[in-house]
Amino acid sequence: MRCVLALVITLAGCGRWGFAQPLDASAGDEGTDAVAEIALDADTDAEAPKPDAAPMADAAPMPDSPAGMGMYSVAATTVPYTPLAGGTAVPGFVVPADDDSYALALPFTFTFYGIMYSSVNISANGYVTFEAPVTGAEAMMNDCPLDGTAPGATIAVFWDDLYASAAVMPFGTLTYAVTGTAPNRRLTIEWRDFDAFYLAGSGNNAFTQGVRITQSLALREDNVIEMHYGPRTPPSAASKDCGADRHRGCSATVGLEASGSTLFTPVQCGTALGPGPGYAPIDEGKHLVFTPS
């Protein structure tokens, strides 16, 4: 008999976190599965959407990733940031860019949570997904915490409501480069000098507070994932959501999410209401390495 212990935890304002662990049992009918679930529920007031954004509806469930896909270990260090040199503009990217997504063929097959992919969709909002891009309110609002709704198969580098400005210098750029030789190639994607959605003192949306955020994602041919954080310019005035910390991730999601499943490798997240689970300020030089187990 094979038993599965499932733990589902609901925290106030933070969504639901789930963990499942198979257990061996010596008694019971052969070929049957038993599931034990422990639920810890707390007050679950829904987070309010950002001003001027329509409330999000849950997306339809996506196909589950295969069983035994493995998880990731995470190592965090501080490494001086080197801007991507000689990169190519991501096809279709033009400024201003707000909530847009761009398809890119991968130079090698990349395995993510046990599924092999040959292309990726790059969002102007600081994440990539190996599945179809989302539109509407879902395109602008990060999941905090990661919750299994679309977009799935997601790598959130600095998932927030970002913006590549064409009005205030420096303009934002979105580039990529392939380096190395097989079997040690790496695809690097860089979001450079992106602005951030901002709640000005009046409560109106603004992109003119001087925030500038740079970060990169590296997909390695050995299926390791690297996130590296570059220069971060603070806002010229405190916002109504995250004070003066918007550029440091107080409203951003960082981590990994499998395809249509409750399997996640979260690092931190926040919303327009402020920091969420695991928040730790992201400063220049922070380097995260996700290694599949």
Tell me whether residue 58 is in a domain: no
| Average pLDDT rounded to a whole number, residues 169-188 | 96
Give the contacts of 46 (CB within 8 A, at least 6 positions apart): none
Tell me whether residue 28 is in a domain: yes
In terms of domains, do 241 and 119 share one?
yes
In terms of domains, do 31 and 74 share one?
no
In terms of domains, do 119 and 162 share one?
yes
Check if the beta carbon of residue 80 is closer than 8 Å to that of residue 283.
Answer: no
* Res. 187: pLDDT tops 70: yes
* Res. 58: pLDDT tops 70: no
pLDDT of residue 240: 61
CA distances to 114, 170, 234, 262 from 174, rounded to whole Å, are 28, 13, 20, 30
pLDDT of residue 251: 86
CA nearest to 71, candidates 227, 219, 256: 256
pLDDT of residue 65: 54
* pLDDT tens digits, one per residue of 78-109: 999 999 999 999 999 999 898 999 999 999 99
* Res. 220: pLDDT tops 80: yes
Per mean pLDDT, which range of 187-201, 237-251, 257-271 is the poorest?
Answer: 237-251
In terms of domains, do 73 and 39 share one?
no
Check if the beta carbon of residue 185 is closer than 8 Å to that of residue 99.
Answer: no
In terms of domains, do 137 and 234 share one?
yes
In terms of domains, do 35 and 177 share one?
no
Per mean pLDDT, which range of 168-177, 237-246, 253-262 is the poorest?
Answer: 237-246
Tell me whether residue 243 is in a domain: yes
In terms of domains, do 157 and 202 share one?
yes
pLDDT of residue 241: 62
* Res. 197: pLDDT tops 90: no
In terms of domains, do 213 and 282 share one?
yes
Each as own residue / partner, the long-range contacts of residues 203-208 (CB below 8 Å, 24 or more positions apart, any chain) are 203/51, 203/240, 204/51, 205/50, 205/51, 205/52, 207/163, 207/165, 207/167, 207/168, 208/167, 208/168
Q: Which residue(s) pair with 166 in the sheet?
A: none
Q: Structural domain of residue 172, as residue ranges? A: 69-292
CA distance 216 to 197: 19
Q: To which residue do tokens 């990994």 refer?
A: 256
Confidence of residue 219 (pLDDT cuts 50, 70, 90): very high
CA distance 101 to 133: 7
Q: To which residue do tokens 């010229």 refer?
A: 236
Confidence of residue 125 (pLDDT cuts 50, 70, 90): very high
Confidence of residue 71 (pLDDT cuts 50, 70, 90): confident
CA nearest to 139, candidates 47, 212, 56, 211: 56
pTM: 0.75
Tell me whether residue 51 is in a domain: no
* Res. 20: pLDDT tops 70: no
Q: What is the DSSP letter of 273?
A: T
In terms of domains, do 188 and 265 share one?
yes
In terms of domains, do 135 and 245 share one?
yes
Token pair, residue 36, equals 């034990």
Tell me whether residue 85 is in a domain: yes
Task: Provide the domain count of the chain.
Answer: 2
HSE toward the beta carbon, residue 197, CA cutoff 13 A: 27
In terms of domains, do 274 and 216 share one?
yes
